Structure 1
Amino acid sequence: MLRTRVIPCLLLEDEGLVKSINFKKPTYIGDPINSVRIYNELEVDELIFLDIKASINSTPPPFKKLEMIASECFMPFSYGGGIRTLDDVKKLFDLGVEKVVLNTIACENLYFITQIADIYGSQSVIISIDVKKPLFGQNRVYIKDGTKKSQYTPIEYVKIVENYGAGEIMLNSIDKEGLMDGFDLALIDKISDAIDIPLIATGGAGELLDIKKAKDAGASAIALGSMAVYQNKNRGILINFPTQKELTTILNED
């Protein structure tokens, strides 16, 4: 049996580490390099970095900062934000990034997913899907850091991107992000049933039990945001991560 992956998901803005709530008002957490060093000591298996403003501001990935991160990082890491071209993808992989995370660009140009998958393999492409429920109507996929509603429902979109070559889906509930009150388990359940590729659940974890609930709902992996940068729900800044013993116990995995 494959062990459930639990991954810190770290947000970058102006090359600093931040944390938001419902995709709003990012709070400065610290320097990402120092955070990487702490995660090295905690023996975290992998990391995800997302530049939350790159697509909105039409800026490229922060290659120099990512090169510094790669030089310090003992574990594989994925990156998303501002990726627009195959040259961007090549530069990221040359720097040591293991997987690229696509959000806005994938929705605007589905064939870009196929292009990357054809060259580097589907396993190198994560499609990040941000979901929000409007005041009236059903859940929709949002792009540009949650500021623009797309034409797709989540179920429609995950099936499409899987068909275009996505290797993994990272599912984030905008309504739950940063609140630390649990995942949207019904959404995870529906999306996991709709696809045959791994699903990374993120957005809402506040305690160890939330990780188990996401797994039981169908998530193949769980990405932690607030839990990885805050000491507790009072949001005192502390770069941390559950121990392997804690994860093994809560997930019932030996």
Structure 2
Amino acid sequence: MIPFRLIARLDIKGPNLIKGICLEGLRVVGNPGEFALEYYRHGVDEILYMDAVAALYGRNSLGELLRSTARNIFVPITVGGGIRSADDVRAMLRCGADKVAVNTAAIANPALITKIAETFGSQCMVLSIEAKRRASGEGWEAYVENGREHTGLDVVDWARKSVDLGAGEILLTSVDRDGTYKGFDVDLVEAVCRAVPVPVIASGGMGSPEHLVEVVRNSGTSAVAMASALHYRRCTLEDARSSLAEAGVGIVPHNEWPDTAGSDG
């Protein structure tokens, strides 16, 4: 059985950690490196950096942040936003990333999924899906550009296809729930988990430890990405671990990570 993972999601704009609601109305939270180090010290299992404005500039600008993070933090790091080619992936890995999350470019060119998986391994290729429930209430559509642009793709069908093409993991963000503290879209997460044999990271909506337990018990997800709940201390990593343990969920053992602040490696 694969242990459940708690992932800190940090959305970045320029030098700042930012957060919005439904991927809009972005507000500055603080210094992303400092927040990442704090989460590492409290036993987070992975770090997820998402460049929120990469699509605007056509490139990912998190290289220096990645290099700094990799010198001080020793858990897997995933980076997303503006990844458009195998060369982009290579550059991110050289800066210290372990995995890349790809959304827009994968939809525009699905063969990129296979290219990344074959070149760097399927474990490196994380498909990022921004999902919105259809107006009819039946199913979900995949979006790009921070949930602003339609693709016409059904989320579940796209998830299946991406795995067939080589995606080794799916980052599933509910745009409708993002930053609302209303809880995960459990139906969405369950539908994708049932459709694919790879790990699914649930993202968007967590406001309390109870929401975490609910999505774990009812969807089959193997990880959650926590953002606002962590940044604004509505739920600490200790709270999350305690709730999961009480619910009988197998989690990655919490070690006391070394204090590496100021270290060069």
What are structure 2's unaligned runs of at least 5 residues? 252-265
Further displaced range: 36-45 or 22-31: 36-45
Q: CA deviation at 1:131?
A: 0.7
Alignment of 1:65-214 (within 5 A): 65-136=65-136, 138=138, 139-214=140-215
Contact 1:101 1:126 in 2 (8 A): yes
1:232 corresponding residue in structure 2? 234
Give the distance between the partners of 1:193 and 1:127, measured in 2 at CA: 16
Give the distance between the partners of 2:24 and 2:223, measured in 1 at CA: 25
Contact 2:43 2:237 in 1 (8 A): no
1:236 corresponding residue in structure 2? none
Give the distance between the partners of 2:88 and 2:18, measured in 1 at CA: 23
Q: Which amino acid aligns with 1:205?
A: M
2:254 corresponding residue in structure 1? none
Instruction: Please tell me whether residue 12 in structure 1 is matched to residue 12 in structure 2.
Output: yes
Q: CA deviation at 1:246?
A: 4.1
Q: Between Structure 1 and Structure 2, how many residues are aligned?
A: 248
Contact 1:132 1:140 in 2 (8 A): yes
Contact 1:78 1:100 in 2 (8 A): yes
TM-score, length basis structure 1: 0.92
Instruction: Please tell me whether residue 249 in structure 1 is matched to residue 257 in structure 2.
Output: no
Contact 1:66 1:95 in 2 (8 A): yes
Further displaced range: 34-43 or 18-27: 34-43
Q: CA deviation at 1:227?
A: 1.3
Q: CA deviation at 1:251?
A: 4.5
Give the distance between the partners of 1:250 and 1:230, measured in 2 at CA: 24
Provide the secondary structure at the position in 1 that maps to 2:237.
Answer: coil
Give the distance between the partners of 1:31 and 1:174, measured in 2 at CA: 24
CA distances 1:108-155 after superposition (whole Å, capped 9, x unpaired): 111111011001110111101011124346421001111110020111
Q: Which amino acid aligns with 1:125?
A: M
CA distances 1:1-50 after superposition (whole Å, capped 9, x unpaired): 32211111110011310111011111111011111221222122211111
Further displaced range: 60-69 or 196-205: 60-69
TM-score, length basis structure 2: 0.88
CA distances 1:42-98 after superposition (whole Å, capped 9, x unpaired): 122211111111013313332122212222222221100111121111111112211
1:237 corresponding residue in structure 2? none
Q: Which amino acid aligns with 2:111?
A: Y
Contact 1:140 1:153 in 2 (8 A): yes
Contact 1:77 1:97 in 2 (8 A): yes
Q: Which structure is higher in RCO with an 8 Å CA cutoff and minimum separation 6?
A: 2
Instruction: Please tell me whether residue 220 in structure 1 is matched to residue 222 in structure 2.
Output: yes
Provide the secondary structure at the position in 1 that maps to 2:153.
Answer: coil
Contact 2:17 2:32 in 1 (8 A): yes
Contact 1:133 1:175 in 2 (8 A): yes
Further displaced range: 97-106 or 31-40: 31-40
C-alpha RMSD of the superposition: 1.7
What are structure 1's unaligned runs of at least 5 residues? 234-239
Residues 31 and 251 (structure 1), Cα distance of their counterparts in 2 relative to 1, 3 Å cut = farther
Identity of aligned residues (%): 30
